[in-house]
A and B are shown apart, each in its own frame.
With several copies, the nearest count.
Chain A
Amino acid sequence: MKKEDMIVRDNREIAQDIYEMVLEGNLVGEVEHPGEFLHINTSRHSVPLLRRPISICSTDKQKSQLTILYRAEGQGTRLLSTYRTNETVDVLGPLGNGFPVGDVSPGETVLLVGGGIGVPPLYDLATVLRRKGATVITVLGFSNKNVVFYENHFQKLGDVYVSTIDGSFGYDGFVTDVIDQKKLSFDRLFACGPVPMLRALEDKYPNVKGSLSLEERMGCGIGVCLACVCHTQNDPDGSDYRKVCSDGPVFPWGEVVL
């Protein structure tokens, strides 16, 4: 983990309010697993005060560069969208555990399910899985066609199905509808996206092998402040917990309460 002023190499809007940012710095050398995240200080002053957790979408270790995708929505992410090439941004990372790609064997079929701004970490994951010889099927859900992104990127790595809630692009409905309709079968499932999506997937496939990546409001991002805890599923007295930032953000299927 490093705290580094990374250099912005690119920062552009690739879909409505969705930005792709390329950052360069030594920190890239420490990235190990897809699904790790950065904790980004979007200001040089105290507004906004807290860092923003953003997943690493892909890395290029040769160039010491990594790419993140984010939705410019609230105060911090909107500020992030104003950074220009060659400015620096204060980044803490890489943080979190990432997806357990070590468990995947060559030849396995892995289903990746991403919802909205949960899609980015799956791209790095898909790349690594392909390199390992796994077959990757990706199902991406967005709210409407204006916010669809990276469909083409994923297509280079395997079959891709895109759905939108309003039907304005790809299949009409939720990711689970697409999986049903296409009768997709798989050996393992990795998912990242809004909690209702994750919950629908867990309800549908209670016993699948796989992991999901969670979001929670964070303070420190490194396990110190206990802002980001969640309950575990088999915990009769409700005292057990996981920290999303340092025990997660990726948890084994069925481990934490959604």
Chain B
Amino acid sequence: MSRVNIDLPGLSMKNPIMPASGCFGFGEEIGKLYDLNELGAIALKATTPQPRYGNETPRVAETASGMLNAIGLQNPGLEKVITEQLSRFDTIETPLLANIAGTTMEDYEKVAEALSKTGKIGALELNISCPNVKEGGIAFGTDPQLAAELTKRVKAVSNIPVYVKLSPNVTDITVIAKAVERAGADGLSLINTLSGMKIDRNTSKPLLANSVGGLSGPAIKPIAIRMIHEVRHQTELPIIGMGGVSTLDDILDFIIAGADAVAVGTANFTNPFVCLELSQALEQSLERQQINHLYDIRPKEVHLR
């Protein structure tokens, strides 16, 4: 037992830090920069049944302390993910969290079933909240009944734990959280990006080819913290928290607010070594302060689990 290891359904993590889905690809590039065994877990880029090119460019835009992205779920498709991407992890012990997206419930079922059968995935993460694709599961993310039904159906075809990744673009995130909890979800990931827009004044049009994009980065951290705090008090499910994390202080804030593990997204783009650096800094900091385990920094009320 180290000061930082944690055990979540399907994810036995040596530390609470993982790259967030879509901000690490399938580990190919960053795997060349450092040993991926140093990470607590790895959330893979969203996989859809068929290959997707995604949206046209520009796909990113900068905002104050944030960025908008509208990649549009570009990915090589289920088959190639299994044949070409997963083998990279054969020699890596870090558990994988496979992010799944689709247009229909059948899409999710198909990808979930196939990926869970590979035996290489620790848990699934249902991306029911990607704001960048019209058919990208956004209705699933905002309608508690649809979210619950999707969760149930995916659970039925998967032999590994299922996390549901919640959208912040809702009136009350706890309603969705409780709906998927009742439907059998094993954990929650939050938050996905907030829907935003930037104007290109040269053209007087939205800058992103897709018009709307997902806002991520430090700008959204207070919203993420609030939502995690709310959800923590309403469900018993483990929470993978994310949204604007880039420093050790951010990690601690998320743990205190109620996250059980923390995912780092946008910060990987500014510093590809950030997840490694944070993992090391966290352990050192706890050691220096002689805190036996990370969760000891949480206030009592948060110890629901």
Contacts and interface: CB of A to CB of B under 8 A. Distances in A.
Q: Direct A–B touching in the complex (beta carbon < 8 Å)? A: yes
Interface of A: 1, 3, 41, 46-51, 75, 92, 216-231, 238-239, 241, 246
B69 interface: yes
A220 B268 contact: yes
A224 B272 contact: yes
A49 B217 CA distance: 8
A171 to B, nearest CB: 27
A237 to B, nearest CB: 9
Interface of B: 22-25, 28-30, 33, 51, 53-54, 57-67, 69, 71, 74, 217-219, 246, 266, 268-273
A246 B29 contact: yes
A240 B270 CA distance: 27
A8 B196 CA distance: 36
Contact of A229 (B57, B62, B218): B57
Contacts of A49: 62-63, 65-67, 217-218, 266, 270
B69 A217 contact: no
A48 B62 CA distance: 7
Given A49-B270, A239-B53, A227 B64 contact: no
Interface centre among A51, A92, A225, A246 (most CB of B within 10 A): A225
A50 B273 contact: no
SS class, residues of chain A in contact with chain B: loop
A239 to B, nearest CB: 5
A224 B30 contact: yes
B271 A3 contact: yes
Instruction: Report, nearest first, the 8 A-B pairs whose CB atoms are least far apart.
Output: A46-B65, A220-B269, A227-B60, A219-B269, A46-B218, A223-B29, A224-B25, A227-B59
A225 B269 contact: yes
A218 B57 CA distance: 10
Contact of A228 (B57, B65, B272): B57
Contact of B53 (A3, A224, A228, A238): A238
B23 A1 contact: no
B64 A50 contact: no
B31 to A, nearest CB: 10
Contacts of B269: 50-51, 219-221, 224-225
A46 B221 CA distance: 12
Contact of A219 (B69, B218, B246): B69
Given A50-B67, A223-B29, A227-B69, A241 B53 contact: yes
A229 B74 contact: yes
Given A229-B59, A239-B53, A46 B23 contact: no
A224 B23 contact: yes
Contacts of B54: 226, 229
Given A3-B272, A228-B59, 17 more contacts: A1-B33, A46-B246, A47-B65, A49-B270, A75-B62, A216-B57, A219-B67, A223-B29, A224-B24, A224-B25, A224-B269, A225-B269, A226-B25, A229-B53, A229-B74, A239-B53, A246-B29
23 contacts: A1-B33, A3-B273, A46-B66, A46-B246, A50-B67, A216-B57, A217-B59, A217-B61, A219-B269, A220-B268, A220-B272, A223-B25, A223-B28, A224-B29, A224-B268, A225-B71, A225-B269, A226-B25, A226-B71, A229-B53, A229-B54, A231-B53, A246-B29
Contacts of A226: 25, 54, 59, 71, 74
B58 to A, nearest CB: 5
A47 B60 contact: no
Contacts of A223: 25, 28-29
